[in-house]
């Protein structure tokens, strides 16, 4: 596949994955084409060498693995970690409120989005609802409104004269509720909203008990630039890395090699990863322990396997934007379409150290892929990733890498076409694809 085709595949993947729950569903659909078997955490696993498996925890985190033919103590686990969630707005439990002739939905800010980028966009809703089925069991299903349903209209400049000098500031409690409809007389806002969800999901409104609903932008992904060298979409951070890892894994040459390969895509990275399904929870370690063979010496065997293992933490990196030269360290400008970025931070906001860096560089060279190095400005607080968390909790060597991205945490992010192809190539090489 050319880089252009890979990016088209990524844009299609994001367009059907407007929430972390949908992203996991989309990943699962891809796995079906490659005979992966779904495992249930509540059941006993019978794993076979060469077997292809995946585990989903709470609908929005997924761990995919190929059980290697070679013993784990010889190969260790080759892991790629990424995250399924993106910052944005989430619908509150008692969301629907009628006021001044309008019906609005109350939202909470999830993670650290650039909130102003959500104004004047064709927003909608996607996520998961939990309800009681006909047998009175509690079950969940995904729901997604395809049409624009919601809006956060800007204040006209005539009422906000300083907006271009001071930037758009929105009060999180008072100014973020999203407009859903005109308020009809006699309308009970909560019942109206429940009815709307019933229409879309097919679930009886009275049976719906709760939900996890994310606000998303309905605009589809596009290529842009004079030579279509860039692309834009929502959630590139970090569905672009999930997609790259998946493309690297779902390749016959990779799937048939002897190593134990793992892709771990976690929810909740944007809010610190601390949850039952986050990277700072037990999910990855629970699954890795079950991949290791059960025997009396399992503990020692597992420790030896971990000592041989490696994690590539794949998350997006800050591309240089020439309008804002002072925002960057002048000696660490990361340029779009010049290759994957190795992220370095001596305070371990990124897990990279010199040896893991050198190993990644070696894989890049073997794959014929250019690479760049990033260091944040020394006088600015640096973001972090799941890299240090997984590396610390499992004791595995790790490197933080990612593709250059403009407008991280905007409702609309941009990246370079060539970089996506490069990242897939180097991840394939890491997973054992022949040079």
- Chain residues binding Zn ion by CB under 5 A are 237-238, 315
Query: Nearer to Zn ion by C-beta: 265 or 320?
Result: 265
Cβ–Cβ < 8 Å for 14, 221 = yes
Rounded Cα distance between 350 and 388, Å, is 6
To Zn ion, the closest distance from the beta carbon of 51 in angstroms equals: 30
Which CB atom, from 203 or from 279, has the smaller least distance to Zn ion?
A: 279
Cβ–Cβ < 8 Å for 244, 9: no
Which of residues 82 and 255 has its CB atom nearest to Zn ion in the complex?
A: 82
* Residue 18 CB, nearest approach to Zn ion (Å): 17
Q: Give the nearest distance from C-beta 273 to Zn ion in angstroms.
A: 11
The CA distance from 202 to 71, in Å, is 48
CB of 63 to Zn ion, least distance (A): 18
Least Cβ distance, residue 241 to Zn ion (angstroms): 8
| Nearer of residues 238 and 257 to Zn ion, judged by Cβ | 238
- Nearest CB to Zn ion, comparing residues 58 and 315: 315
When the beta carbons of 75 and 238 are compared against Zn ion, the nearer one is: 238
Residue 169: left (phi > 0), alpha (psi -120 to 50), or beta?
beta
CB 191 within 8 A of CB 94: no
What is the C-alpha separation between 208 and 217, in angstroms, rounded?
25
CB of 172 to Zn ion, least distance (A): 21
Q: Which two tokens stand for residue 375?
A: 């260091």
């Amino acid at each position: 596949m050319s880089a252009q085709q890979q990016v088209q595949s990524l844009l299609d993947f994001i367009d059907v994955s407007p929430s972390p729950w949908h992203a996991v569903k989309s990943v699962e659909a891809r796995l079906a084409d490659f005979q992966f078997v779904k495992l249930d955490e509540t059941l006993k696993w019978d794993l076979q060498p060469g077997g292809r498996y995946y585990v989903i925890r709470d609908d929005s985190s997924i761990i995919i693995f190929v059980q290697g033919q070679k013993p784990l103590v010889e190969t260790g686990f080759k892991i790629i970690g990424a995250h399924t969630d993106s910052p944005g707005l989430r619908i509150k439990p008692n969301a629907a409120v009628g006021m001044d002739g309008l019906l609005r939905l109350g939202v909470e800010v999830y993670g650290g989005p650039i909130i102003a980028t959500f104004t004047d966009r064709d927003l909608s809703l996607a996520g998961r609802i939990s309800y009681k089925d006909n047998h009175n069991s509690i079950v969940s299903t995904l729901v997604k409104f395809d049409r624009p349903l919601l809006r956060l209209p800007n204040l006209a400049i005539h009422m906000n004269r300083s907006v271009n000098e001071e930037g758009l500031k929105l009060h999180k409690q008072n100014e973020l509720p999203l407009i859903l409809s005109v308020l009809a007389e006699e309308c009970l806002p909560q019942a109206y909203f429940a009815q709307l969800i019933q229409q879309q999901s097919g679930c009886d409104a009275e049976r719906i008990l709760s939900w996890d609903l994310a606000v998303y932008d309905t605009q589809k992904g596009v290529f842009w630039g004079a030579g279509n060298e860039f692309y834009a979409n929502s959630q590139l951070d970090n569905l672009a890395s999930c997609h790259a890892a998946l493309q690297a894994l779902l390749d016959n040459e990779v799937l048939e090699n002897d190593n134990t390969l793992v892709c771990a895509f976690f929810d909740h990275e944007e809010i610190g990863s601390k949850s039952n399904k986050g990277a700072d929870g037990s999910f990855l370690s629970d699954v890795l322990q079950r991949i290791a063979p059960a025997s009396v010496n399992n503990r020692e065997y597992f420790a030896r396997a971990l000592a041989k293992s490696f994690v590539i933490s794949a998350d997006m990196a800050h591309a240089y934007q020439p309008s804002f030269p002072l925002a960057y360290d002048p000696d660490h400008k990361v340029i779009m379409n010049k290759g994957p970025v190795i992220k370095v931070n001596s305070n371990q906001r990124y897990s990279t150290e010199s040896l893991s860096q050198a190993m990644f560089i070696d894989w890049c060279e073997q794959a014929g892929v250019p690479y760049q190095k990033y260091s944040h400005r020394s006088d600015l607080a640096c973001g972090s990733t799941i890299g240090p968390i997984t590396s610390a909790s499992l004791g595995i060597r790790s490197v933080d890498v990612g593709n250059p991205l403009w407008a991280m945490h905007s409702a609309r992010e941009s990246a370079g076409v060539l970089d996506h192809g490069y990242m897939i190539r180097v991840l394939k090489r890491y997973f054992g694809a022949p040079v």
